[in-house]
Amino acid sequence: MGSIALGAAVAVLTGAGAGVGIGVATSKAAEAIARQPEAKGDINKALLLGCALAEATAIYGFVIAILIIFLLK
């Protein structure tokens, strides 16, 4: 049972990576908008796409953790 919990915990750690990635992307987007305000629309589009992809990895990790917990009992 301990190894199942450890495996699920490692799978959920993808959320931390996604959080860091979204934070870095947001800070860089804010810097880019501050430097070139006229490109705000294009920067926001790229930021939202990147955040969606980063969040998808966190969701995949969560789904894998749930599968580990409930299917490997």
pLDDT at 73: 74
- Phi, psi angle pair for 8, to nearest 5°: -65, -40
Q: How far is CA 69 from CA 5, 8, 26, 57, in A?
A: 7, 7, 33, 18
**For 5-34, how does the pLDDT look when each residue is reduced to its tens digit (9 = 90+)?**
898 888 889 889 899 999 999 999 999 999
pLDDT at 64: 92
Tell me, what DSSP letter sits at residue 36? -
The type of residue at 37 is P
User: Which has more pLDDT, 47 or 2?
Assistant: 47
Q: What's the rounded mean pLDDT across residues 42-71? A: 92
2 confidence band (pLDDT: 50, 70, 90): confident
Percentage of the chain modeled with pLDDT above 90: 59
Take residue 44 and report the two structure tokens written for it: 């926001």
